[in-house]
A and B are shown apart, each in its own frame.
Chain A
Amino acid sequence: MSISKESIINLGHGSGGELTRELLDTIIFKTFNNPYLNQKHDGSIVKIEGEIAMSTDSFVINPIFFKGGNIGALAVHGTVNDVAMCGAIPKYLSLSFIIEEGLPMSEFKTIVAAIKDAADQSGVQIITGDTKVVERGKGDKIFINTTGIGQVHKKANISTANIKPGDCIIVNGQIAQHGIAIMSEREGLEFESDIVSDSTNLNHLTIGLLDKFGDKIKLFRDPTRGGLGTVLCEISTEINLGVFMKETDLPLDKQVAAVCEMLGLDPLYVANEGVFLAVVDPSIATEVATFMQQHPKGKNATNVGVFTTEHPQKVVMESSIGGKRIVSPLVGEQLPRIC
């Protein structure tokens, strides 16, 4: 039976035999069609000059389709962004699937198409990969692993060791959108909203920042799981400085804020996929924020806080009414409150 007639993925598609070959030829190679992949070799040989940055991530999100994206686009954005956060220009990705028997072929095709779109938009090529199929019940529809490599930007000097007291924390956009969009579609938490995941590639903006500001950019970091709060806690602990921020400075969509209130979630701990923070010298903070605001991925860029020698290793946030509280790292998963 040819792929075009198969309606679901079965174990044969991961056997390495005829069905695997057909799946690869009719979907994977056809979609990604590039000279590296077309060699159909065990791996690919590429040339990159200078320092290389490398990152890997596995994507197991549930549900696999959500408002604003799907697991395929996310698998590209996640790894591209991780490479970008190293101060590098993402170039190539590997792409591995672990598919649960029974996944509709149409869904697989949609996911692959989203991967292609996201890779094109990010300017990266898929140069190697793998496809495995596990028995029904042994996976959860589809898991994707991507590994990315990129060329470190010539002007980049990204390291937490460069951060000094007074350095500012600029965030490119509104926080907590991805986590809330996903939560709105999970079983047991269904609620209607127009909130869309912010999943996107950030590399064009980070490269633009490095082109213009070079080593005055001390750090990039994307606060995915654990949210902005947890990432700031990690950095402040690592470098033995405090962070001071004001609640009223946090870029937060009104609808996202309302859902967080309703569910009893703190947006500081909700996951993001299209948000990053740049730690910069205070002399360029305003300029960096303005630069970001002119870029489509940074329209809501805001200076959210500052590193300080006061309260080392603690992130302190001033509330809207002028009280202060500690922002501590997230423990476990954030759970909706009862009432």
Chain B
Amino acid sequence: MKYLSEYRNLEATKFYLSKLEEIVTQPWQIMEICGGQTHSLVKNGILELLPKQVQMIHGPGCPVCVTPLNQIDKAIALLKKGVIVCSFGDMIRVPGTHKSLLQAKADGGDLRVLYSPLEAVKIAKENPTKEVVFFAIGFETTAPANALSVLHAEKERLNNFSILVSHVLVPPAMEAILDDEFCSINAFLAAGHVCAIMGYYEYPPIAKKHNIPIIITGFEPLDLVQGIYMAVLQLENNKAEVENQYSRVVKKEGNKTAIDIINKVFKVAPREWRGIGLIPDSGYAIQEEYLKYDADSKFNLHGFKLEEIPNTCIAGDILKGIKKPFDCKDFGKSCKPATPIGAPMVSSEGACAAYYHFTNTSI
């Protein structure tokens, strides 16, 4: 695999860090959108290497963290009905209203952890007498493969496969964050892999409207340090443009094949974000033509809602960058990866879990 070591080069990283020190003159708050970037910042110890004036704010780009409680409850209800529920690994420990998917599995539910949604189609084919539902969560990155699973099921003429859709989109979330009255973010590192799929034609209007630099950034240490440098350079020069740091992967127009597959199966729709609330046009729903593959329609789950049990999780403020994990009184005490109260403590991309696992601060 190429690029495993090139972008972890000590000298090149030091070079950008020293250039960053040279140009920074005042405090700046930069939000990295993607949980993968948060993970890399913390895992590689980058936060402590940055100049004191540069503060990183961790964004909402952890797909597991923003998936609403209600969707998890629905998946658990399907398990109870005897449906084979297939899910990405990260999702299974996230607490729903009463329990997590993993706990529902222990109760006897047939939960399968998969890496690719296409595996779920295979399971449906192998189990013709059972209903199989894939829990289709994530951002634009997982949307093409999830959409493809529907197309494969159609091709195989399967009637026992459907997907429980909980897809969200990055640009509307960025707008929602910028519109928040407590928002103090000066620049964005946009999520490199989301842009690899979608391109970045959606970003210039956001940069212009909110007068904010947006740097499409990768995930390796050198990517991040260079992305931060590019953001600070713009800020110090009073610019607000879209720049592509991750040009080895991202093209402005994105991946046309992937976008076509997404548009064939999905349409843009309002979506609930866990901890943030309803954001208009911020996700995907299944197109009319493919509704027979929509688990919500198939199992009449549209009105499904369990009574919410209030808890003390401040995930919403963390996902919007208003608070840090250490600001939470439960962090590292009653809320730990083994006993998470909120979703950001579960996935390795969640800000709380990343802080818990990797930071040097006493816990």
Contacts and interface: CB of A to CB of B under 8 A. Distances in A.
Contacts of B360: 311, 316, 324-326
A187 interface: yes
A328 interface: yes
B142 A325 contact: no
Interface string B1-19: 1001100111001100000
B113 A335 contact: yes
Interface in A302-325: 311, 316, 318-325
A331 B339 CA distance: 10
B119 A325 contact: no
Contact of B48 (A257, A324, A331, A338): A324
B205 interface: no
B359 A337 contact: no
A189 interface: yes
A102 B1 CA distance: 42
Interface string B23-50: 0000000000000100000111111110
Contact of B142 (A320, A326, A335, A339): A339
Interface stretch (B86-94, B272-280, B311-319): B86-94
Given A336-B88, A337-B89, A321 B8 contact: yes
A322 to B, nearest CB: 6
Given A331-B338, A337-B349, A321 B10 contact: yes
A332 B222 CA distance: 31
A102 to B, nearest CB: 18
B357 to A, nearest CB: 5
Interface stretch (B133-141, B155-163, B239-247, B295-303): B133-141
Contact of B113 (A188, A262, A311): A188
A189 B347 CA distance: 18
A323 B220 CA distance: 13
B333 to A, nearest CB: 15
Given A324-B45, A326-B360, A338-B64, A261 B1 contact: yes
A178 B48 CA distance: 34
Contact of A339 (B49, B91, B139, B356): B139
B217 interface: no
A8 interface: no
Contact of A338 (B44, B45, B86, B88): B88
B63 A261 contact: no
A305 to B, nearest CB: 16
A264 interface: yes
A339 B338 contact: no
Contact of A322 (B14, B88, B89): B14
Contacts of A320: 5, 8-10, 44, 221
B115 A263 contact: yes
B112 interface: yes
A284 interface: no
Given A326-B360, A336-B88, A338-B63, A188 B48 contact: no
Contact of B45 (A188, A257, A323, A336): A323
Interface secondary structure of A, over-half rule: loop
B149 interface: no
Band of interface residues on B: 35 or more
Given A188-B115, A319-B221, A339-B142, A325 B45 contact: yes
A321 B14 CA distance: 8
B49 to A, nearest CB: 5
B44 A187 contact: no
* Residue of A189, A337, A338 with most chain B CB atoms under a 10 A cut-off: A338
A125 to B, nearest CB: 40
Contact of B93 (A263, A311, A316, A335): A335
Nearest to B12: A321
Interface in A229-270: 254, 257-258, 261-264
B89 A336 contact: yes
A187 B86 CA distance: 12
Contacts of A261: 1, 4
Nearest to A255: B1
B74 interface: no
Interface string B218-233: 0001100100000000
Interface string B199-226: 0000000000000000000000110010
Interface of A: 187-190, 254, 257-258, 261-264, 311, 316, 318-326, 328, 331-332, 335-339
Interface of B: 1, 4-5, 8-10, 13-14, 36, 42-49, 63-64, 86, 88-93, 112-116, 119, 137-139, 141-142, 193, 221-222, 225, 336-338, 347-349, 356-360
Given A331-B338, A338-B91, 17 more contacts: A187-B112, A190-B119, A261-B1, A319-B43, A320-B8, A320-B9, A321-B9, A321-B14, A323-B44, A325-B45, A325-B358, A328-B358, A331-B337, A332-B338, A335-B89, A338-B88, A338-B90
9 contacts: A321-B10, A321-B221, A322-B13, A326-B357, A331-B338, A335-B90, A336-B89, A336-B90, A337-B36
